Amino acid sequence: MRGIGKVSLIGAGPGDPDLLTVKALKRIQEAEVVVYDRLVSQEIMDLVPPKTALYPVGKKPKSHPIPQEEINQLLVDLAKEGKRVVRLKGGDPFIFGRGSEEAAELVTAGVDYEVVPGITAAQGCASSLNLPLTHRGLATGLRYVTGHCQKDIPLDLDWASLADPNTTLVIYMGLAAIKEISAKLVEHGMPTDMPAVAISKGTTSEEQKVFGTLTTISELAKEAKLPTPTLFMIGDVVGLKGTLELTSYSGSDAKWGERPHLEVING
């Protein structure tokens, strides 16, 4: 009779399979069962061995076909069958991923688990745009904020703190609420011309991005019909767009320059 198995709470990163950690890939290839979210890219799912059992438990906005409580219990039940279980999440499991809720349930049930961190969307998307999240003289702080509240409760954030112009603000799951968020930030003192960018499906072949300002980014994202997941970056670091890209390179002769401005860039 097999003993209790183990659950690996794994961050799959923002979508590019090359951004998986070595440990994450190893656990995926060792797994007997993979319980995975909707935001895990197909390229990463293709790395799962063919004989591994798959349990899709993904959620969509306003559509949670498998409640979180049932996901928690599924992990417990599979582990108690003695299985090597991978719980695969987009980004990092402990950054807006509800991984801590699953971990708490596993602890209560006496199931061993580990956390394998992943590159969160903010890091992946910023790197894809060649933008820093912090930069001396422009951003001395960094804040990650969710733009979506449980059960559609109105956003109740510390707007005065978030409106700090010396902080880069990254908003997850904010597509539906970005207009309200922008208005609140302006109301609490953030400059209306603060650079902003919306990036959809960052680091993947379907990546799209829209550059604007705090007061225009909502309409620009709407006009572009950006699909989820879409992440927003707001701050002076976004104003570095193009300055950290080589426009040409020949031997040791490297030239830096502003890339052409495009409101929507595909791929």
β-pair type (53-56, 33-36): parallel
Residue 101, classed as helix, strand or coil, is helix
In DSSP terms, 60 is beta-bridged to 63
**Catalytic hit among 16, 37, 92, 164:** 37
Q: Please give the backbone phi and psi of residue 248, each rounded to the nearest 5 degrees, phi first.
A: -160, 155
Identity of the amino acid at 222 = K
**Catalytic hit among 16, 83, 164, 173:** 173
Active site residue 45: no
Active site residue 190: no
Quote the distance between the C-alpha of residue 141 and its chain's center: 19
**Catalytic hit among 6, 59, 184, 222:** 59
CA 235 to each of CA 117, 253, 264: distance values in angstroms, whole numbers, following the listed order: 26, 31, 19
Instruction: Name the residues annotated as catalytic.
Output: 37, 59, 173
